Chains A and B, each alone.
Chain A
């Protein structure tokens, strides 16, 4: 398997505060990789380093070449980042949010809308509704759909389970898995809910205060003593 995304010794800072102290991780093409960790471990910052929305140093390679330029350039290379808080444009309609997902693309979007609606049938009848009036779960689905409209090679998901009912969390991850399997989208997902993340991801990294504390295949991590105690709770 070739690496789609490679982070080599990445540091990131918010002003004087260093959030990442040399993180290295690899996401293979077609994989789902999870990043686990407590609050403040640097999970969100890892994604921000990739999309270049935080001050960073170190080597970040996407499909073999160094990632440069602001977030808009990274998006144009085929990286869809669903940020903390989902990045929904609450004042715009559902349709406009989806259209913005495909902002970097040219040509007809008819097929894309059809495919998105096959995953999320309810989005079609709600297309003129203001996105801000959707429920939390619906907004998370909309964020996924919007990212999908970008036809990304790599999908960065920041805590998709945050604030959702358990049943909806399962639903969100089922769709992530489907997108990965049917559309070949590579996924790097940051999650507090280690239980579900380890079920869906093939491999995971555990961050502790800005460093990689542990990494390996999900099955192995699920059996790992400290992961079980700290993140799975049994």
Chain B
């Protein structure tokens, strides 16, 4: 029998849905041609990628928690904002930017773990809506605590990348944008490697896919959910720390618009797909920049509604998002 089994052909791994791949390829070609023909277009595209990876990073945090618990964490943006304040405080105490940056990521991890254990775990086995309401409560709580500790007035932080501008051919690119893109992509790569190559990462994926079966092989799913919240908080902190320099000021509302765009990016990518969240974020960043420039009617005021209108159009055509697939649940 084993002989018989061995002779069967080895099926190929499934490629991502081809219309989406084609669409993305077309978009890339469009962007490249546009960038070659127009310096402004190229600048807007790079700036769009820089804001887009930040949306993508926060969207990834949302997807991470959604995959593990099927809940959207509405407090993700405020957690990220609080982390930026932690970094601010550390710098006030005399740490250099990068020392504060990495220390903040460590604090963010603990922050996420503690938040999950204290606020989410007690309601986790109730309904999804209960958890969602707790995350909304967390949003308000964190907002309030930050305002109480640091006040709502704006603050100024040291810029991580300075004001240098590089020139790629005739296209000027700010060092800050390149820095943002590199930092976020490095973090995403680190996270991906963690999930792909470590035992705990594998356990987390298994726990998200089939919690009951994962527990049977000895995966401590409850502890790993907390780790998931920790990692999501780290991604959020990266997004926050990379948002701050583009806004130039720090205030408690720093991440609120970013969170909305991150929602859009996550849904665009398919909510279940980490790669989709990142691609969705980048697509959204570029789209917003180009529309704001070339469609004067939109300007900067109507960007958010236009982004959501575009999202609705995409979802009408492909309800599961770009990289989502319909899950068939067996009862």
The residues of A with any CB-CB pair to B shorter than 8 Å are 51, 53, 70-72, 75-76, 80-81, 83, 87-92, 96, 99-101, 103-104, 120-122, 125-126, 128-130, 133, 135, 137-138, 141, 146, 150, 167-168, 170-171
Contacts and interface: CB of A to CB of B under 8 A. Distances in A.
Interface stretch (B40-48, B112-120, B201-209, B295-303): B201-209
A53 B10 CA distance: 36
B213 interface: yes
Contacts of A130: 13-14
Interface residues of B, number: 26
A167 B11 contact: no
B174 interface: no
B185 interface: no
Nearest to B219: A103
A121 B2 contact: yes
Contact of A171 (B2, B202, B219): B2
Contacts of B221: 72
A198 to B, nearest CB: 21
B212 interface: yes
Interface of B: 1-2, 5-6, 8, 10-11, 13-14, 199, 202-203, 205-206, 209-210, 212-221
Contacts of B216: 51, 53, 71-72, 75, 81, 83, 87
SS of B interface (majority): helix
Contacts of A96: 202, 205-206
A71 B221 CA distance: 10
Nearest to A81: B216
A187 to B, nearest CB: 16
Given A121-B6, A126-B10, A91 B217 contact: no
B2 A104 contact: no
Contacts of A138: 5
A100 B206 contact: yes
A232 to B, nearest CB: 24
A48 to B, nearest CB: 10
Nearest to B6: A122
Contacts, number: 91
Contacts of B2: 120-122, 171
A81 B10 CA distance: 29
Contact of B219 (A90, A92, A100, A126): A100
A71 B211 CA distance: 11
B217 A104 contact: yes
21 contacts: A71-B215, A72-B218, A75-B215, A75-B216, A76-B218, A81-B216, A87-B210, A87-B212, A87-B216, A89-B213, A96-B202, A99-B199, A100-B214, A100-B217, A103-B202, A129-B10, A135-B5, A137-B1, A150-B218, A171-B1, A171-B2
A167 B3 CA distance: 13
B213 A103 contact: no
B10 to A, nearest CB: 6
A122 B217 contact: no
A145 B205 CA distance: 20
Contacts of A141: 5
Contacts of B209: 89-92
A126 B218 CA distance: 24
B217 A150 contact: yes
B155 to A, nearest CB: 45
A81 B216 CA distance: 6
Contacts of B199: 99, 103
Contacts of B214: 89, 100
Given A71-B216, A150-B217, A168-B1, A100 B203 contact: yes
